[in-house]
Amino acid sequence: MTTDKGPMVRDELGAVVSALCARFPDRSRSDVERVVADVYARLVASATVTAHLIPLTLNRSRRLLGSTPMESVVAKPTESSLMAVGSD
C-alpha cells in the first residue's frame, strides 16, 4: 500500500491493514486493503485536521469489516481513493 502522504502514513496504514487482517482472518488481505484505502481516502478528502485520521480509519474499517458482507464493503476503487492510497 502506498500513499502520497509519505512513508509514515504508508507504514501506519500498513499496520492498520495487518491488525484488521489478524482480527478478520476470513477476509482477504486485498479486500482489507481496499476497505482501509477507501475509508482513508474519504476521511482525508474532508479533513481539516489530519492528526487523528489513522485511528479513525482503523475504527471505521473495523466496523465495516465486522458488520457488513464483503460485497457491500468493497467497492471498486474510486479515482480519489486511488490518488490518496493505492496498492503496490
State which amino acid sits at residue 29. Answer: R
What pLDDT, in 10s, does the model give residues 27-70?
999 999 999 999 999 999 999 998 999 999 999 999 999 987 76
Is the separation of the CB atoms in 63 and 25 below 8 Å?
no
Per-residue pLDDT at 71: 62
Structural domains of the chain, count: 1
* Pairwise CA distance, residues 50 & 38, whole Å: 16
* Pairwise CA distance, residues 73 & 32, whole Å: 9
Is the separation of the CB atoms in 5 and 87 below 8 Å?
no
| Strand ranges for 1-88 from DSSP E | 2-3, 85-86
Identify the domain containing residue 70 by its residue range.
2-86
